[in-house]
Amino acid sequence: MEKLVIEGGYRLSGEVEVSGSKNASLPIMAATILAEGDYFIDNVPNLRDVRTLSKLLNLLNIETEQKQNSLKIKNNGGNSFEAPYELVKTMRASILVLGPLLGRRGKAKVSLPGGCAIGERPVDQHIKALKAMGAKIEIEHGYIIAECERLKGTDIYFDLVTVTGTENIMMAAACAEGETTIYNAAIEPEVVDLGNFLRKMGVKIEGLGTKTVKIYGKETLSPTNYRVMNDRIEAATLICAAAITGGDVKILGVPKNCLTTVIEKFLEIGVEIEDIDNETVRILSKKKLKAADITTQVYPGFPTDLQAQFMALMTVAEGVSVVTENIFENRFMHVAELKRMGANIRLKDRSAIVTGVEKLSGAHVMASDLRASASLVLAGLIAEGETHIHRIYHLDRGYEKFDEKLNKLGAKIKRVENGD
């Protein structure tokens, strides 16, 4: 197993490019179940989660070949319908094959999902919606076992906003009989990206990016080519890296229209953001950061996927900030690790009260989930001495060559064998 060793204290400068979005790539890959034939999907990050889903598609008689950031997919059809525990346990997004398998092949046996240990993320909304569309579903021995004739379009009311639930039902509805209307749908940009991909396959969809999405089912769909959107969370994490080191960094491929709330918060804490063109910004951080409060919310609010990274900034900001987590109940596991590095953080209910300190100190710390690992990297960039980050497989699930990108900007990060 590998770890990262970071020598802190280096100011970042230079130019870096944002990778394609993991959270958009995965549902788009799952959607290739819906039609036989050849696909070419560009701007796909070369990540552990992408490779895991590729293995799962292979088990479903769908060939995948990734070269750098391009993915060739050939759906050979067939009747395979099982997503086994061995693959699903490492990645919650595997649940995304449930909808398209039911919609196209009429059967699905999908292990209950795993992934990051950041709290309960139940799939009951998925199951309730698919049952409303006519599926028979049982939970047995840790598997969702489902079957149907042809799904029937209907009105779906989500009790709470669910990104993967919205995506699953959009895919299931794509080849269902009749119209499906999803109420209280997720409006995240990655959901819209999936919708645009489905449109290219021949699906008529209305209301993308709104709380009410209508899908007109079509029995036969066509394979297509597509370019995945850039990763808004990686872009924001790179802004954090420039900001925390007092850097001067040009970031290419920033989906600024998806980051309005986040950019406003960066400006509030004293980060200078200069627009170069539509997708390029220059980040300047020449002075002490100021404390600011954040509350995570569903899109377009402040994203939970950026909470840990922003908290890392606040550990060395001037003043006291309150970070409130409203999405996942266990998403403060990075707090104990930041405190090992000298951060002053106190937990109270669903909030972390962060009092900025003059400096952090390098230490051995352990990543508990994907975004927590990124926050520890950010802290390590400015900590005195060396920071050793263990269990970086979490980082590799969601950030493409993140250590290499930071090193090109002047960071001192080594990837070494850990032995644990």
* Sequence ranges of the binding site for phosphoenolpyruvate: 22-23
Separation CA 378–CA 309 (nearest Å): 7
CA atoms in the 13 A half-sphere facing the CB of 135 = 32
Annotated binding site: 22-23, 92, 121-125, 305, 327
Separation CA 237–CA 371 (nearest Å): 9
Query: Measuring CA to CA, which residue among 362, 355, 404 is closest to residue 382?
Result: 362
With beta carbons less than 8 A apart as the criterion, state whether 342 and 360 touch. Answer: yes
Neighbours of 287 (CB within 10 A): 11
Q: How many residues does the chain have?
A: 420
Annotated binding site for UDP-N-acetyl-alpha-D-glucosamine: 92, 121-125, 305, 327
148 is catalytic: no
- The amino acid sitting at 258 is C
Contacts of 19 (CB under 8 A, 6+ apart): 43, 45, 69, 230, 231, 234, 253, 399, 400, 401
Q: To the nearest 10°, the Cα dihedral for 244, 249, 255, 259?
A: 30
Separation CA 335–CA 252 (nearest Å): 31
* Active-site residue identified among 116, 148, 175, 240: 116
Query: Measuring CA to CA, which residue among 43, 52, 48, 51 is closest to residue 21?
Result: 43
- Partnered with residue 344 across adjacent β-strands are 355
Q: For residue 122, give both structure tokens.
A: 């139940």
Q: Is 355 helix (H, G, I), strand (E, B) or coil?
A: strand
Query: Measuring CA to CA, which residue among 51, 162, 26, 180 is closest to residue 103?
Result: 180
- Helix 232-244 crosses helix 307-314 at what angle (to 10 degrees)? 10
Backbone dihedral angles phi then psi of residue 205, each to the nearest 5 degrees: -130, 135
Separation CA 327–CA 183 (nearest Å): 20
Q: What is the DSSP string of 37-69?
A: EEEEEES----HHHHHHHHHHHHTTEEEEEETT
Q: Which residues are catalytic?
A: 116
